[in-house]
Amino acid sequence: MEMRKVFAAEMERLMNKNKKIVLIDADLAKADGTVPLHNAFPSRTFEAGIAEANMVGVAAGLSAYGFIPFVTTFTPFATRRVCDQIAVSVAYAQQNVKIVGTDPGIAAELNGGSHMSFEDIAVLRSIPDMVIFEPVDAEQLRQALPQIVKCEKPCYIRMFRKETPDVFTDGKYKFNLFKADKICDGKDLTIFVSGLCTADAIQAKDMLKAEGISVEVINIHTIKPIDEEAIVKSAKKTKAVLTVENHNVIGGLYSAVTEVLAKNCPVKCDCIGIYDQFGEVGKIPQLKARYNMTVNDIVAKAKDLVKNK
Amino acid sequence: MDCIERSKEIRSLTMQCIASIGVGHIGGCLSLADLLAVLYTKHMNIDPKNPHMKGRDRLVLSKGHAGPALYATLASFGYFPKEELNTLNKIGTKLPSHCNMNLTTGVDMTTGSLGQGISCAVGMALGAKLAREKARIYCVIGDGESQEGQVWEAVMFAAQNKLNNFTLFVDNNGMQIDDYTKNIINMEDYEKKFKSFGFNAIRIDGHDIDAIDAAVEKAKKCKTRPTAIILDTVKGKGVKFIEEVGVGNHSMPFTVADYERALAELK
C-alpha cells in the first residue's frame, strides 16, 4: 500500500481516538494523501495555503493551546524553508508539533533539484530535542504513529509517499521509536541503513552471503535520538560499518553513526549516499545509479570494507 | 491602580529592569507601556495566582525584544516579585531579553525571531475556537517587524479563518535599528493594508489610554473578522532624554543614574 494511504488511515484512527490531534496542510493535501482526513475531520483540519512558515507557527500556537498538530508538506518545505520557525517557535518553545515531510531525497523524482532534500536531516538534527524518524515500510509507519503522538516532543517524520517494498512482514514485528531494528545477524560487516535504501541493503546482504560475507543489517529508523547501544554493540562485533542513506552523507545517517563510533568504538567505516551534491530530475532507479546508491554499489563498498578492515 | 498610574509603574519598573544590567531595548519597551497598562488593567481575563488558568486570555509579544516591558507588567500584577526584575539577562535568569514562555511565569509564547509570534498567536486563537473557549488572543508586533513576510501570511490565515477572537497591535513607533521605518521599507498605509487583508483596522494615538481602551472594546465587538489596532507611538515615550536619542534608543546603555534621572521626569 502507498505510504500516504497508510498515513491517512492510521491518522484517521488516531484522530478518532484523540480529539487533540489536528492537521494542517500547505496546499499539498492532494499530493500527501490527507484529503480523506480533511473530509473526515473538517473542524480539525486546516489549509495554510502556500505559506509554510505561518503553518509551522500556527501549529506551535495550537500546541501551546494544548493540541497535537501535524503539519504536512514536501520535505524541503517542511524543513529548510522553515528551519527558524522549527528552531524558535517549535523546539525552543518546547511545542509538541509533528512535522511530516514527504518525498525525501531522490523520492522527489521528476520535481528535481529544488524539491530534492538531501539536507533536511542535517538541518533538523542540530536543533535540540528534535525527534527525527524515517519509516521504512507500511507496517513500521503504522506502528510508529501512535508512539509519535504519545511522544511529547517535536518530531519530524521523513516519509516516502508512494508504494514501498514491505520489509517487516512476519506479523511479529514490534516497533519501538527509540530502538533500532536489527533485520539480520552477521559477523563480517554491519550495514546501518535508513528509509528507502533498506530493501536494497537487504538484497545486497543476500548477494554478499552468496560470496561468503556475513552482513548484519540494522535499520536506523530514528536518527535522533539515535540508538547508540545498538550501533556500538554491532560495530564491536563486526568491526566494519557501512551506512546507506538517501541524504547528503554530511549531516545525515553517516554523520550520526560515525559520531557515535568515533567516541565509543572506532572501526573502519564507509558510506553510500549523496556526496555533497544537489538533486536533479530522474526516476528513482536512475537517480540511484546517478548517485552510486544501487545494490551493486552497496555490494562493492561492503566487499572493500571487509577486505581492508 | 488606574491605567495612568499603572503605565507609570510599568515604565518605572521597565527602566529599573534594564538599568540593572546597564543596557537594553528601552525605546520599544517604553512605547508599549500604555497599551500593556490598559490591556492588563481593563481587558485581559487572567489570574496572576493561576497563570495557566483554563480559558484565559493570552498576550503574545511578537516583538520579543520588548520583554522587559512585559516583565515589568507581570511583576506589577504580581506574577512574580518585583525584585526579580533586577535579574534581567544575568546568567541563569528567568528574564531573558527576548520572551521565553518556559522560563517566565505569565509569558504566553516564546518570541524573538521577528514575524513568528504572530503566527503562534493566530494558532492560539484557532485553538481557542476549537476548544470552544472564550479566550481572546492579543498580539503585539512592531512596525519594523511588519516587514517580515510571515506577518502577512499570519494575517491572511487569521482573516480566512474569521478569527474574531484575535486582536493585533502594531506598535508603530516609526523607527527600527538602521533608520526610520519609512526610510528602510515604508509600510504605510497600515489601515489600508490590514483592511485589504480582511481585518477590521483601527488607528489611534498609542499613548491615549481612553483611545486604547475604546479600540480594544471595538475589537471585542467586531464579530466578523479579526482586528488590527495601529498604535501611533513614540519610541522611548515618557522620558524626554530617551525620546531624544531617536533611532538609537532601540537598544542603548542605561545606567542606574539614568534610571534615577528618568524617574524624576516620570513623576
Which residue carries 489570574 as its cell? B47
Q: Which residue has the cell 519610541?
A: B235
d(CA B230, CA B211): 11
Cβ-proximal residues to B36 (8 Å cutoff; 6+ apart), any chain: B7, B10, B69, B70, B73
From first to last of its 267 residues, what are the pLDDT tens digits of chain B? 999 999 999 999 999 999 999 999 999 999 999 999 999 999 999 999 999 999 999 999 999 999 999 999 999 999 999 999 999 999 999 999 999 999 999 999 999 999 999 999 999 999 999 999 999 999 999 999 999 999 999 999 999 999 999 999 999 999 999 999 999 999 999 999 999 999 999 999 999 999 999 999 999 999 999 999 999 999 999 999 999 999 999 999 999 999 999 999 887
What DSSP string describes A237-295?
HH-EEEEEEEEETTTSHHHHHHHHHHHH---EEEEEEE-S-------HHHHHHHTT-SH
φ, ψ dihedrals at A267, nearest 5°: -135, 170
- A181-308 placed in CATH 3.40.50.920: yes
The predicted pLDDT at position A174 comes to: 97
Q: For residue A134, what is the DSSP state? A: -
In this complex, do A85 and B116 lie within 8 Å of one another by their Cβ atoms?
A: yes
Q: Which tens digits make up the pLDDT trace of A207-218?
A: 999 999 999 999
End-to-end CA distance of chain A: 40
Going by C-alpha positions, the residue among B176, B117, B127 that lies closest to residue B147 is B176
Q: Are A298 and A242 in contact (CB under 8 A)?
A: yes
CATH tag, A3-159: 3.40.50.970
Q: Do B154 and A57 touch (CB under 8 A)?
A: yes
The contacts of residue A59 (CB under 8 Å, 6+ apart) are A24, A69, A70, A71, A90, A95, A97, B123
Give the phi and the psi of residue A265 in degrees, each rounded to 5.
-165, 75
d(CA A183, CA A192): 10
Q: Are B58 and B27 in contact (CB under 8 A)?
A: no
b or e along A56-89 (b: 16 or more beta carbons within 10 Å of the residue's beta carbon)?
Answer: bbbbbbbbbbebbbbbbbbbbbbbbbbbebbbbb
At A287 the pLDDT is 98
Cβ neighbours of B123 in A, within 8 Å: 57-65, 69
Among the partner-chain residues B108, B120, B153, the one whose CB lies closest to the CB of A89 is B120
Give the pLDDT confidence score for residue A170 in this predicted structure.
Answer: 86
The 10 Å Cβ neighbour count of residue A150 is 10
Which stretches in chain A have pLDDT values below 50?
A: none
Burial class (CB in 10 A: 0-12, 13-18, 19+), B78: exposed
In chain A, whose CA is at the least distance from the CA of B113? A88
* Interface contact A54-B108, CB threshold 8 A: no
pLDDT, residue A1, reads 87
Cell numbers 553513526: residue: A257
Task: Tell me, yes or no, if the two domains A3-159 and A181-308 fold the same way.
Answer: yes
Rounded distance between C-alpha atoms, residue A218 and residue A202, angstroms: 10
Burial class of residue B52 in the structure, from the number of CB atoms within 10 Å of its CB (0-12 exposed, 13-18 middle, 19+ buried)? exposed
Nearest to B112 among A51, A57, A88 (CB): A88
Does the predicted interface ipTM exceed a cut of 0.95? yes
Q: Where are the domains of chain A?
A: 3-159, 181-308
Q: What percent of chain A has a predicted confidence (pLDDT) above 90?
A: 99
Output the pLDDT for position B266: 87
What pTM value is reported for the model? 0.97
Best of A58, A70, A73, A90 to substitute, by most chain B Cβ atoms within 10 angstroms, is A58
Write down the residue that cell numbers 516579585 correspond to.
Answer: B81
Does A264 reach chain B within 8 Å, measured CB to CB?
no
Domains defined along chain B, listed by start: 3-266 (3.40.50.970)
